[in-house]
């Protein structure tokens, strides 16, 4: 699948699914049927918890389920990027829902401007996670809950496949991870999007539809609009089977990380060439990727890694030199070991 161009922020108004009045008692009564409720049963926290609340269907269902599971202990965190005119509408819906269930709402103004060479999507995502992590620490939250669901997980896997990703990409989104000193959970990864949306619609609970979600200039939106309906017809259980495959990939990736850590302990940091040559080619590639990522936050391309492995294989004399471009820097031979310089000469 070809990479899509980056669309400009839309100026369209969001569609808001709502009813005239939102009764606190009514929502409390309806929450028993909330499909997000069962996804929270295995989670337990000894301090308040946050919900990243966009106002969309998934995070709305998650917020209501969390408010029922941990009454008086939930904070809603809304990120206001200011990238589209509908952003203020999102805030108003969030305020209405949070007021109805006595959940404090924290609206964070985030600067999502991207640097040269960085995609706007990556910039917005990084700014969002940084703001969520910072707020979680400021409020003393035990964790932050995210609303990504089963359809999001499938889309992530298909994107990874389209880009020729390895195990980390095929593992898709982890159910739990840490970032910037905060703990994040994705409890809805096995819950289909339609189930959440249908429940909210049936109960007349307001949520917003971000207009950018239907813009097919985004690759992810094309997958959602064109591929998921076809998959649903051909393989009705695809969400469950994709989730299982993602778990298998995550387990395999975890095992490779353990092997890489053990091999790096043998080869040293930085890795020595002779011990590297004693490993199989697959283990050489595995430990080199691990070293570059952990020690230098660098990710080599497949072609760069192949070149490096070829150079290591023929490095049998004292005078043989290695000097290869890898990620944003260079790998050189420094006597008996490899050396990485993160800046281009």
| Residue spans per domain, the chain | 15-240, 268-341
264, pLDDT greater than 80: yes
200, pLDDT greater than 50: yes
% the chain with pLDDT above 90: 77
Q: Supply the DSSP symbol for 32.
A: G
Rg of the chain on CA atoms, in Å: 23
In what helix (H) or strand (E) does residue 50 lie, and over which residues does it extend? strand 49-52
Kindly state the average pLDDT of the residues 238-252.
96
Mean pLDDT of the chain: 88
> What pLDDT is attached to residue 212?
80
> What pLDDT is attached to residue 118?
57
153, pLDDT greater than 90: yes
pTM for the whole structure: 0.83
User: At what angle are helices 193-202 and 150-162 packed, to 10 degrees?
Assistant: 150
> What pLDDT is attached to residue 87?
80
The span from the CA of 145 to the CA of 281, in Å, is 40
How many residues would you count in the chain?
345
313, pLDDT greater than 70: yes
Yes or no: domain 15-240 corresponds to CATH 3.30.559.10: no
pLDDT digits 0-9 by tens, 86-134: 788 899 999 999 999 999 999 998 876 666 555 667 777 888 999 999 9
- pLDDT band of residue 214 (cuts 50, 70, 90) is confident
pLDDT digits 0-9 by tens, 21-73: 444 444 444 445 899 999 999 999 999 999 999 999 999 999 999 999 999 99
Measured CA angle at 334 (ends 332, 338), to 5 deg: 60
CATH-assigned architecture of domain 268-341: 2-Layer Sandwich (3.30)
The span from the CA of 16 to the CA of 94, in Å, is 11
DSSP string, 246-285: HHHHHHHHHHHHHHHHHHHHHHTTTTBHHHHHTS-HHHHH
């Amino acid at each position: 699948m070809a990479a899509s161009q980056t669309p400009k922020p839309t100026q369209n108004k969001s569609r808001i699914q709502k009813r005239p009045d939102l009764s606190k008692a009514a929502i409390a009564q309806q929450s028993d049927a909330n499909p997000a409720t069962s996804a929270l049963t295995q989670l337990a926290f000894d301090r308040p918890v946050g919900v990243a609340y966009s106002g969309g269907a998934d995070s709305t269902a998650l917020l209501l389920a969390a408010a029922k599971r941990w009454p008086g202990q939930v904070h809603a965190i809304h990120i206001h990027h200011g990238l589209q005119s509908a952003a203020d509408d999102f805030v108003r819906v969030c305020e209405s829902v949070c007021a109805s269930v006595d959940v404090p709402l924290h609206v964070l103004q985030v600067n999502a401007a991207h640097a040269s060479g960085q995609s706007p999507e990556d910039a917005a995502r990084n700014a969002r996670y940084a703001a969520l992590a910072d707020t979680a620490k400021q409020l003393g939250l035990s964790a932050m809950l995210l609303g990504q669901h089963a359809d999001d997980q499938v889309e992530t896997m298909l994107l990874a496949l389209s880009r020729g990703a390895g195990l980390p990409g095929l593992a898709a989104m982890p159910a739990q991870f840490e970032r910037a000193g905060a703990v994040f959970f994705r409890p809805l990864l096995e819950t289909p999007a339609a189930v959440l949306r249908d429940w909210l619609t049936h109960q007349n609970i307001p949520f917003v539809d971000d207009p950018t979600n239907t813009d097919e200039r985004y690759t992810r939106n094309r997958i959602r609009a064109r591929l998921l309906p076809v998959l649903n017809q051909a393989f009705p259980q695809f969400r469950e089977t994709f989730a299982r495959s993602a778990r298998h990939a995550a387990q395999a990736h975890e095992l490779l990380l353990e092997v890489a850590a053990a091999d790096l302990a043998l080869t040293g940091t930085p890795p020595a060439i002779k011990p590297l040559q004693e490993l199989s080619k697959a283990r050489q590639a595995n430990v080199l990727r691990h070293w570059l990522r952990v020690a230098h936050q660098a990710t080599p391309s497949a072609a760069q890694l192949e070149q490096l492995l070829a150079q290591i294989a023929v490095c049998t004399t004292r005078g043989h030199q290695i000097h290869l471009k890898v990620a944003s820097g260079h790998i050189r031979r420094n006597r008996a070991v490899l050396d990485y310089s993160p800046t281009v000469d």
